[in-house]
Amino acid sequence: MMRIEIPAKSMRFPGKCVCCLRPTGETRELRKHKFSFWVVLVLQRTLKVKVPYCAACQRHVDWAKGGRMLGVVLSGVVNVVLSLLLGGLVFMMLRFANPSIDENPDVPRLAVLSVAVVIAGLLTWRRLKSKPERPVDATHTRENEAVELISFTKRSVRLRIHNDAFARELLDMNAQASVV
Ligand SMILES: [Zn+2]
Ligand SMILES: [Zn+2]
């Protein structure tokens, strides 16, 4: 792990993924917010930095940040609850629009319920599909983000880079960058 300070304006990155070092044209946006208080005003400044990150590595980072399988289970529960609430609302609207539904409410009720369950299932399945195909092995730096934005000023940016080989290349490319 290396901490590097780099001038904000002239920042250049190697054309390879910061996690696995494979050549890539893809980038991942890092964001950092900074708040300053001025009498009664709160001023927010946000810095965005795009770092080279291949699609496969972004996938394992998103999967790790989303709580892995536990995240899928939790989002499944939330999806079921939300779609049932929404289904209940739709059913109430149907009843309002057509009061004769009350004579035989089971058919529309069942229809609304099945649509809700199918939607919840599809949403959860989509999330499960984002699971990385291969486990994170030794060719990767780490499962979570291999680079973090620590802080910034008007002039410079501080990065924590977990991949030392990438950090050294970054230092070579940016003459004004330094280890802090
Ligand atoms: Zn990668
Ligand atoms: Zn990776």
Distances from the Cα of 70 to the Cα of 57, 76, 99, 143, 157, angstroms: 20, 10, 42, 16, 35
Q: Which residue has the tokens 């291999």?
A: 146
User: Considering just the CA atoms, what is the radius of gyration of the chain in Å?
Assistant: 24
* pLDDT tens digits, 72-82: 999 999 999 99
Instruction: State the number of CA atoms in the 13 A half-sphere of 28 facing the CB.
Output: 23
State in Å: Cα 139 to ligand 2 middle.
Answer: 7
Identify whether the C-beta of residue 4 lies closer than 8 Å to the C-beta of residue 167: yes
Question: Domain-by-domain residue ranges, the chain?
Answer: 2-53+146-179, 67-129
* pLDDT tens digits, 12-71: 999 999 999 999 999 999 999 988 888 888 888 999 999 999 999 999 999 999 999 999
State in Å: Cα 24 to ligand 1 middle.
Answer: 8
Question: pTM of the prediction?
Answer: 0.81
Q: Which ligand is nearest to the CA of 62?
A: 2
pLDDT band at 104 (very low <50, low <70, confident <90, very high): confident
